[in-house]
Structure 1
Amino acid sequence: MKLQRTYSPDSAWLFLAPIASVALLLMFFLLICTSLVLQPGIAVEVPYSPFLLPPQGNPLIISVTALPLPSVFLAGRNVPLTELEASLRKLHSQSHSVIVRADQWTPLWLVAEVLRQSIRQGYPVVLATQGKRS
């Protein structure tokens, strides 16, 4: 007769609790992180201005980065300046306004060109700035 010295529980139940806790932690982490990100991956330092507008409803965000390689980002993807107007035409909707987030070291001609193309497509345009410096 063979005696069993230790109790061996069903192995499926041993893996259920850790998998459930990892899944819940991952879901909680994703819910927290996605609500705090405005536009991932593009660092822009906007200039200071005392003239601040209230938040815009459902805006399109155009980010313009500074030198050495100035770039224009529309809805999170890099768009060449020559294709910006066509991309804005595809996204055209009456409920949108355009917020231009230009880095404070961006050349003025580039910011003016982005503003001109946005206005030409009929968007109300807001230039993003920061409030009081801490």
Structure 2
Amino acid sequence: MKLEMSLPEKPGFLHALPLIDLLALVMLFPLLTSSLAPQAGAEVELPETDFRLQRVSNPIVVSIVGGIEPQFWVGKERVEREDLLAEVRERAGEWGEGGTPAVLLKIDKSAQNLGMDVSYALLREGYRCLWGAKLTQ
């Protein structure tokens, strides 16, 4: 009695499955890495602290990069010093979290005095100001 195989010699769909897995992984990596991107448009060196920042959902992120000519960023958009409050005011109008809009200040170590001026101006406008810092161990 001779046994015969009922499957075709080269089932094409079985050889394509590893390729489909590979394509799914290639499409998945860019989707995951975009969520790991930094929030603000500028990288700043934050001061160290022993305190934890209170958790706020979707704050308005203001970054100040120190140097000879300081740079001001609201989110990922660079703005001039004169336009900073107007841009924050515009973002606060779109802020749908309820309550007083929260502004997260990421201020470079070399621009601490400038950060104080900006935070006082934001407090006078009625915003909640949170200073970002590195947590020490």
Does the alignment reach a TM-score above 0.5? yes
d(CA) in 2 for partners of 1:79, 1:125? 19
Aligned-pair CA distance for 1:107: 4.8
- Residue 128 of structure 1, aligned match among 112, 132, 136: 132
TM-score normalised to structure 2 length: 0.71
Q: Give the corresponding residue for 2:103.
A: 98
- State the one-letter code of the partner of 1:104: K
**Aligned partners of 1:125 and 1:40: how far apart in 2?**
16
**Counterpart in the other structure of 1:86:** 86
Partner of 1:118: 122
Equivalent positions of 1:6-21 (< 5 A) are none
- State whether residues 88 and 121 of structure 1, in contact with CA within 8 Å, keep that contact through their aligned partners in structure 2: no
Q: How many residues align?
A: 118
The alpha carbon displacement at 1:69 in A equals: 2.5
Residues 42 and 50 (structure 1 numbering): CA distance in 2 closer, same or farther, change over 3 Å? same
1:46 matched residue in structure 2:
46
Runs of 4+ in structure 1 over 6 Å off: 19-22
Using the size of structure 1 for normalisation, the TM-score is 0.72
**1:63 deviation in Å?**
0.6
CA contact (8 A) 1:118 1:125 kept: yes
For the residue of structure 2 that corresponds to 1:118, the secondary structure is: helix
Which secondary structure state, in structure 1, belongs to the residue aligned with residue 38 of structure 2? coil
AA matched with 1:98: V
**Shift, 1:20, TM fit:** 6.4
5+ unaligned residues in a row in structure 1: which ranges? 1-15
Higher strand share goes to which structure?
A: 2
Cα distance in structure 2, aligned partners of 1:97 and 1:40 = 15
CA displacement at 1:53 relative to structure 2: 2.3
Unaligned runs of 5+ residues in structure 2 are 1-15, 93-97
Residue 27 of structure 1 deviates from its aligned partner by 2.7
Alignment map for 1:30-41 (pairs within 5 Å):
30-39=30-39, 41=41
